[in-house]
Amino acid sequence: MSTITASEFRVVDLEFNQSEFFQANTFSVADMFVNLSNAIVDRFVLLAPNQFDTVIHSLHSNKFELKMSMPVTIKLIDKNETVATFVDGNIAISGDSPAHALEELRHLLVGLYEIFKREKKNLGSVPKEQLKILGAYIGEAGHK
């Protein structure tokens, strides 16, 4: 069981785009989640203080799918702005919440992958490297 010491934590529910603040000196993560009625722990992320790492398992696309889980960093800029970053590919976009930023990142990744594949011969060194990295994670739907 993990024990955390801090003055304030935020738990973000990525599915319903809600967050709840907890004040505590020392508490266990399990005890904290017990306080959330009917919580599905997998969809919650503990935020301390404003950045966390997660993964996406789907691009929410009919044309493309992920070959493997994609690591993403979420950073809360303020209460109305969140940045989602695919660090390996040096690709980031903002949204007004963690869920919105993740959805925008999914759309951006699909769009960039399509453009980079189509313009492969005309790409500079940075987009070529990004295409290589994206190609390791993204494939056509139904071709994992």
High-pLDDT (> 70) share of the chain, %? 65
Give 73-131 pLDDT, tens digit per residue. 988 888 788 999 999 999 999 998 888 999 999 999 999 999 999 999 999 999 999 99
Give 47-70 pLDDT, tens digit per residue. 445 788 888 999 999 999 999 999
Of residues 133, 94, 96, the one with CA closest to residue 112: 133
Is the pTM higher than 0.85? no
Beta bridge pairs of residue 28: 3
Q: Return mean pLDDT, the chain.
A: 76
Of residues 104, 101, 100, the one with CA closest to residue 83: 101
Q: Give the pLDDT mean for 21-25.
A: 43
CB-based burial of residue 131 (10 Å sphere; 0-12 exposed, 13-18 middle, 19+ buried)? Answer: buried
The predicted structure's pLDDT at residue 143: 65
The predicted structure's pLDDT at residue 76: 85
Of residues 40, 38, 67, the one with CA closest to residue 55: 67
Task: Map out the domains of the chain as residue ranges.
Answer: 1-49, 50-144
14: tokens are 């990525």
The predicted structure's pLDDT at residue 24: 44
Which residues touch 119 (CB under 8 Å, ≥6 apart)? none
